């Protein structure tokens, strides 16, 4: 199956211009890949998951710190505990685009869901493969917008062209604006640009692309998103945290790479924020 096979009315899901943008700039957006009804169901599923209480190792809310991200923590690897999350991670539409971008069959390595409520900190500029350590090659992210996402509520920013560069050694981020410790300044001559999105849009980007987000400065708007990370089937190693599966859901074991860890090393709790 290819992106051409499942486009609506014979149109490709990933136009040729999108493939060229991904190769030249490190990212591309496929608008409306998921329907509004699908996104509403996904958000309702995570609202119910959060209401049911913590699941150790996946999400553990804390309401005592005053930090919105502790009240609404990101959900790590929800596909391991939730069938709908697994079906989204392995969705054939994502697979079709990813196979074009990677040029081979795809392995799923990780899923995440971010609530990012009003007042929440963002995540400083970083590179995903700094954490996953896919070798050889890199990972690719599929970042699914679940709300109207813009600069006000902390939408994603990318630094075009950095996908062609090596992994950088991060600096320490500003804990007042980023929940994660790592920060990669844009290289000389390059700058972060915002990517505005609507529910159902999917941003695909290279694992070496520098990207991040600012705090959610809105009064009442969440910035929810579902993210999958993927690797090509030719990958030989990945971090121990990432339990790769085929797009049919079968476990595929890779050797362990060094220096990996969960996406975004969080700062230690520091009281009300």
Q: In the predicted model, is pLDDT for residue 81 greater than 80?
A: yes
Instruction: Provide the whole-model pTM.
Output: 0.92
User: Looking at the domain assignment, is residue 173 inside a domain?
Assistant: yes
User: Looking at the domain assignment, is residue 215 inside a domain?
Assistant: yes
Average pLDDT over residues 107-118: 98
Judging by DSSP bridges, how do beta strands 202-206 and 156-159 pair with one another? unpaired
- Torsion, CA 226, CA 67, CA 212, CA 223, rounded to 10: 40
The domain that holds 211 is classified in CATH as 2.60.120.620
230: number of CA atoms within 13 Å, CB side?
33
The tokens describing 58, both together, are: 């996946």
User: Looking at the domain assignment, is residue 5 inside a domain?
Assistant: no
Distance CA 85, CA 105 (A): 21
Least confident of 31-35, 39-43, 69-73, 210-214: 69-73
Domain that holds residue 236: 27-256
Q: In the predicted model, is pLDDT for residue 272 greater than 80?
A: no
Strand partners, 232: 106
Res. 263 pLDDT band, cuts 50 70 90:
low
User: Looking at the domain assignment, is residue 210 inside a domain?
Assistant: yes
- Cβ contact 190:184 at 8 Å: no
How does pLDDT run across 3-22, given as a tens digit for each residue? 444 444 445 689 999 999 99
How does pLDDT run across 164-180, given as a tens digit for each residue? 999 999 999 999 999 99
| Closest residue by Cα to residue 157 from 132, 131, 185 | 185
User: Looking at the domain assignment, is residue 72 inside a domain?
Assistant: yes
Q: How many domains does the chain have?
A: 1
How does pLDDT run across 26-47, given as a tens digit for each residue? 999 999 999 999 999 999 999 9
φ and ψ at residue 213, rounded to 5 degrees: -155, 155
φ and ψ at residue 102, rounded to 5 degrees: -90, -20
Distance CA 125, CA 185 (A): 7
How does pLDDT run across 228-251, given as a tens digit for each residue? 999 999 999 999 999 999 999 999
Rounded to 5°, the CA angle 265-270-273 comes to 100
User: Looking at the domain assignment, is residue 264 inside a domain?
Assistant: no
The tokens describing 223, both together, are: 């910035």
End-to-end CA distance of the chain: 48
* pLDDT value for 261: 66
Q: What's the DSSP call for residue 211?
A: E
| Closest residue by Cα to residue 230 from 136, 89, 100, 125 | 89
The tokens describing 24, both together, are: 């030249």
Q: Which residues contact 100 (CB under 8 A, 6 or more apart)?
A: 2, 3, 14, 19
User: Looking at the domain assignment, is residue 14 inside a domain?
Assistant: no
User: Looking at the domain assignment, is residue 164 inside a domain?
Assistant: yes
* pLDDT value for 268: 60
* pLDDT value for 61: 82
CB count in 10 Å sphere of residue 181: 17
């Amino acid at each position: 199956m290819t992106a051409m096979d499942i486009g609506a009315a014979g149109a490709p899901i990933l136009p040729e211009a999108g493939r060229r943008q991904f190769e030249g700039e490190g990212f591309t957006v496929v608008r409306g890949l998921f329907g509004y009804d699908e996104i509403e169901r996904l958000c309702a599923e995570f609202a119910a998951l959060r209401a049911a209480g913590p699941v150790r190792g996946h999400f553990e809310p804390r309401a005592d710190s005053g930090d919105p991200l502790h009240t609404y923590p990101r959900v790590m690897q929800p596909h391991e505990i939730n069938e709908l999350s697994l079906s989204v991670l392995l969705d054939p539409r994502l697979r079709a685009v990813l196979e074009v971008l990677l040029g081979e069959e795809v392995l799923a390595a990780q899923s995440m869901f971010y609530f990012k409520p009003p007042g929440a900190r963002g995540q400083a500029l970083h590179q995903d493969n700094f954490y996953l350590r896919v070798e050889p090659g890199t990972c690719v992210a599929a970042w699914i917008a679940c709300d109207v996402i813009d600069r006000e509520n902390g939408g994603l920013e990318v630094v075009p062209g950095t996908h062609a560069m090596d992994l950088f050694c991060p600096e320490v981020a500003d804990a007042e604006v980023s929940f994660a410790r790592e920060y990669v300044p844009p290289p000389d001559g390059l700058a972060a640009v915002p990517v505005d999105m609507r529910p159902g849009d999917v941003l695909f980007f290279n694992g070496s692309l520098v990207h991040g987000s600012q705090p959610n400065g809105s009064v009442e708007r969440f910035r929810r998103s579902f993210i999958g990370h993927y690797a090509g089937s030719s990958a030989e190693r990945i971090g121990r945290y990432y339990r790769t599966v085929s797009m049919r859901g079968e476990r595929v074991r890779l050797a362990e790479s060094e220096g990996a860890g969960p996406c975004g090393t969080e700062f230690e709790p520091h009281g009300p924020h």
